[in-house]
């Protein structure tokens, strides 16, 4: 059983919501993964983090307010609440619920990333630098569905990529980046807005880090067409695959995705074959890219 599953979330939600002066009656579970997310009355969503994430939650609320003030559409904190709220070593944050929405198109992703990357660096908010390897050691250690030899290979691959990161080629000027810019975190509402979600990884870093997410959707997995990728590059004004650092960022993203699948499969055995398939791909045992068979994790 994972730490997320071995937790009395309803009790935590009640305590957090009561501390915020809100009504916890009829709180509706939306999702439990690394965080627990509930819907409250009045169009508010509350998220309870993992333990030890208070400072990260505080930073995320500040990032949301800064983006709103900067004119970039992003998830908004619920007004009138002094947050985050500390509950049993975790952090509770409160957000305005989005109207009906869907995943954004590749062109919409490109447009909002271009807007984000052009923002001047904030002077009153410490975004910190990109952390491309955050949680990877923990994911590998938790991947109990893999043999020890497989986990050792992942550790060695991680060490190799960390060394290569220290030699990252020069590219476009570092700027504010989203940090996890896939279509599930950039959504389009019915009223035409394109909204950034999940601001946990927003930081200062190479803009190419945000662009590589879409590049590997085409080149590594075949999830989008070449025409869709070309449109993405045309809207943004740059093709990250022409940059000599692309393969390194691609390899890091693929490792992150493979270790996430292994972590999920350790508590949800139905994803075991998916985790093993991803490992075999990045280890070079399933032929050249694009690799078929990379499926979304539910």
Q: Where are the domains of the chain?
A: 13-97, 106-282
Q: What is the average pLDDT score of the chain?
A: 93
How does pLDDT run across 245-265, given as a tens digit for each residue? 999 999 999 999 999 999 999
Q: Report long-range pairs for 223-228 (Cβ below 8 Å, ≥24 apart).
A: 223/294, 224/106, 228/105, 228/106
Question: How many CB atoms are located within 10 Å of the residue 212 CB?
Answer: 27
Q: What is the pLDDT of residue 182?
A: 85
pLDDT at 34: 74
Predicted local confidence at residue 163, as pLDDT: 98
Overall CATH class of domain 106-282? alpha beta
Segment 217-248, tens digit of pLDDT: 999 999 999 999 999 999 999 999 999 999 99
Residue 238 Cα distances to 113, 120, 172, 298, angstroms? 12, 19, 10, 32
pLDDT in the model for residue 284: 96
pLDDT of residue 298: 67
Distance CA 9, CA 265 (A): 22
Q: Is pLDDT above 80 for 124?
A: yes
Q: Which pLDDT score is estimated for 9? A: 87
- DSSP letters spanning 228-247: HHHHHHHHHT--GGGSTTHH
Domain 13-97 has CATH 3.40.640.10: no
**Most distant CA pair in the chain, distance:** 56
Give the mean pLDDT of 89-117: 95
Q: How far apart are CA 108 and CA 67, in angstroms?
A: 17
Number of helices (H), then strands (E), in the chain: 9, 10
Above 80 in pLDDT, residue 50? yes
């Amino acid at each position: 059983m994972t730490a997320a599953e071995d937790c009395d979330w309803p009790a935590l939600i009640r305590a957090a919501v009561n501390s915020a002066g809100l009504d916890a009656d009829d709180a509706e579970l939306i999702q439990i993964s690394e965080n627990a997310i509930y819907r409250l009355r009045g169009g508010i969503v509350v998220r309870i983090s993992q333990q030890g994430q208070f400072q990260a939650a505080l930073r995320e609320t500040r990032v949301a307010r800064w983006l709103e003030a900067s004119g970039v559409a992003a998830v908004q904190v619920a007004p009138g609440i002094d947050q985050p709220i500390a509950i049993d070593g975790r952090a509770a944050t409160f957000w305005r619920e989005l109207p009906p929405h869907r995943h954004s198109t590749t062109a919409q992703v490109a447009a909002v990333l271009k807007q984000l990357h052009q923002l001047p660096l904030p002077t009153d908010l410490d975004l910190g630098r990109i952390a491309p390897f955050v949680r990877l050691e923990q994911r590998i250690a938790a991947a109990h569905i893999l043999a020890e030899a497989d986990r050792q290979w992942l550790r060695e691959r991680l060490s190799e990529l960390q060394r290569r990161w220290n030699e990252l080629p020069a590219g476009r000027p570092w700027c504010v980046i989203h940090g996890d810019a896939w279509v599930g975190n950039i959504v389009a509402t019915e009223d035409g807005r394109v909204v950034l979600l999940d601001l946990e990884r927003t930081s200062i870093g190479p803009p190419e880090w945000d662009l590589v997410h879409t590049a590997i959707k085409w080149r590594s997995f075949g999830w989008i067409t070449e025409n869709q990728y070309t449109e993405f590059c045309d809207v943004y004004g740059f093709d990250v695959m022409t940059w000599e650092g692309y393969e390194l960022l691609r390899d890091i993203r693929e490792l992150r995705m493979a270790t996430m699948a292994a972590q999920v499969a350790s508590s949800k055995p139905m994803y075991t074959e998916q985790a093993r398939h991803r490992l075999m791909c990045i280890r070079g045992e399933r032929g050249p890219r694009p690799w078929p068979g990379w499926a979304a994790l539910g």
